[in-house]
Amino acid sequence: MLGTPEFSRTQFVRGILPNLKAGRRVPISLMATEKGLETMADSREVMNIRQASQYLGVSPDTLYKYVGEQKIPAFKLGNRWRFKKSKLDQWMEDKSSQMEAKSRNKPKAAAKAAGQQ
């Protein structure tokens, strides 16, 4: 049943997935799929390239590029890149704050430039 944490994959695809794709909010309790599968709230703390690229919404190739340029926090476990979810969340928060600061400063810079002409 949709109101409980345990329901079928078919119910998930028919009931929850369209809402997620449409950008509608869905309670975490409704995002649980079948028994044994983790909920979105219980995602892994350490992710591989594929998982991290899905989490961030970029392609694995883009993520490899960011790792090579040391733009994103990552570490190697053996010969495989790994990403800590908490570090990615902090990185995204920092990037978001930087973008907000830039957008706040742009109007001031434009006004200043206009005043100097």
Q: DSSP assignment of 24-82, as one string? A: ----GGGS--STTSPPGGG--SEE-HHHHHHHHTS-HHHHHHHHHTT-S--EEETTEEE
pLDDT at site 38: 46
Per-position pLDDT tens, the chain of length 117: 444 445 555 555 566 666 666 666 655 555 444 444 444 444 679 999 999 999 999 999 999 999 999 999 999 999 999 999 999 999 999 988 888 888 887 766 556 666 665
pLDDT at site 75: 96
Dist CA 90 CA 12 (whole Å): 30
| Domains of the chain in sequence order | 1-42 (no CATH), 43-99 (1.10.10)
pLDDT at site 112: 64
